[in-house]
Amino acid sequence: MTEPWLQDACSLVDAFRAKTLSPVEALEASLVAIEASDLNAVCHVDADEGRAQATAADVSLPFGGVPMGVKELEHVEGWPFSEASLVFADRKSAFDSTHVARLRASGGVLVAQTTASEFGGVNCTASKLHGVTRNPWDTSRTPGGSSGGSAAAVAGGLLPIGTGGDGGGSIRIPAGFTGLFGLKATYGRIPRGPQTLQPPLTVTLGCLSRSVRDTARWFDVTNGFDARDNLSLPKMSGWEAGLGTVDLTGKRAVVSVDLGAAVVEPRVVAMVVEAAEALIRDAGLKQVDVVVQLPQGGLEWALSNLVGLVEELGDRYPDCSDDLTPEIQIGMNLASHHYTVQSAGKADAFRVALNEQMADLFDQADVVFAATNPDIAFDAAGPMPTKVGDVDLMATYGFDKAIGNNGALTIPANLAGLPAVSIPVGTIDGAPVGMQVIGRHHEEQVLLDLALRAERERPWPLVAPSASA
């Protein structure tokens, strides 16, 4: 094997079991590809340990022998744990996260640490510590964030699958920008311990994958309660085995590309509407007309997310300010000077209002179709755009709307704890477009079966054209 594996991870396991390929061969091909890549998707390689794992791999396990990437915001014992920040550049992890430990137990070969945005705070993967991560579909564009390194590595053909985390869209946003499949599960589905930081009660774990079955298998081996995350959910089995078994006929579907909260590029609107209506027909759903007008989180909500970071930086701040990326600098400055009991109360009130509106919406619908991102991927180095098509958001709507537009489509599912997927539906100017489908709490299988139907009827490229050239 001279080229890295460009099909999905499940088919790689099949090849191992058929003895047409060995885990060591697959790993070596990935290592060569990572070394040659200009995507800057990987910030640490554990080649020796990876080779040892591949040599001893039990291919009867769900991911036996599959080389994997782990996002740098997750703990892997002995690996760097910088959280993509210069402030913690020399820090190493003393333990595996529960998520990582379960991947090891599933046979995964953990070989590469993938890049993220600093502390996961921005949906563009570029940091002072590691530089700019690039989108394999167009290296002038970002793969998104904060799981941009995993997305770039998987879509770029370097690794078959990688971990992701989603606190405001950080699995779905990069999946949408890189043509991958991404599931943000119901809050608590995969434990986040040990040493779980609970607030802001939005962060979920998962993967960036090339296929629906890869994601289903991932959740089979990683979901389930762990005492070190007391908000984690009980084990749910049959994710992969249950694919294709859900009766979707007659389920109520709402198509609201902008969720009443975002400004979306007109070509993205047209593509998502066409894809949504096609999937509704294919699956036998019943489209219903519901006006969706979700509130967009204000500055208070954004600042409330920085409470944990303030504690982590401790007395290093403000002396470490120059080491932070501009977005984190601004956020910390605003939080330090403007976050008060009153603004905390406003953030809580916003969350309550959003939850009520989402509950009302799902009284009338079973699934909601929307765009994943307001536009195609923007410049790799950032900053986040404040213009969509011909609309200057800053001039038209002001600061909060301009900045908040980038996550306005994905954040509602996080705040309400709802599951949501991003499904590839095509390209504009050579850049991928994702369609988001939001579902009811605990009904991931409905979303997976909808995505499976889309995958079968309108297959998407498993990797970027540059990876298969």
**What angle separates helix 212-222 from helix 444-457, to the nearest 10 degrees?**
150
In a domain, residue 342? The reply is no
Residues 136, 155 contacting (CB under 8 angstroms): yes
Q: Are 405 and 387 in contact (CB under 8 A)?
A: no
Which helix (DSSP H) or strand (DSSP E) does residue 303 occupy?
helix 299-304
In a domain, 254, yes or no: yes
219 inside domain: yes
Whole domain around residue 179: which residue ranges? 9-286+407-468
- Can you give the pLDDT at residue 298? 63
Answer whether residue 4 is part of any domain: no
Q: Domains in the chain: how many in total?
A: 1
CA distances from 446 to 10, 12, 134, 183, 251 (A): 21, 26, 33, 12, 10
- The residue assigned the tokens 């509130």 is 295
Question: For the segment 288-323, what is each residue's pLDDT rounded down to a tens digit?
Answer: 999 999 987 766 677 777 888 999 999 999 999 999
pTM equals 0.97
Residue 330 identity: I
Is there a domain that residue 87 lies in? yes
The number of residues in the chain equals 469
One DSSP character per residue, 411-430 reads HHHHHHT--EEEEEEEEETT
The burial class, CB within 10 Å (0-12 / 13-18 / 19+), for 217 is buried
Instruction: Give the residues of the chain that fall short of pLDDT 70.
Output: 298-300
**Cβ contact 328:118 at 8 Å:** yes
Residue 390 lies in a domain: no
What is the predicted pLDDT for the residue at 212? Answer: 99
Evaluate whether residue 362 is within a structural domain: no
Do 306 and 339 contact (CB within 8 A), yes or no? yes
Domain containing residue 451: CATH number: 3.90.1300.10
Q: Which residues of 14-51 are buried (b: 16+ CB within 10 A; e: fewer)?
A: ebbeeeebbbbbbbbbbbebbeebebbbbbbbbeeebb
DSSP classification of residue 438: E
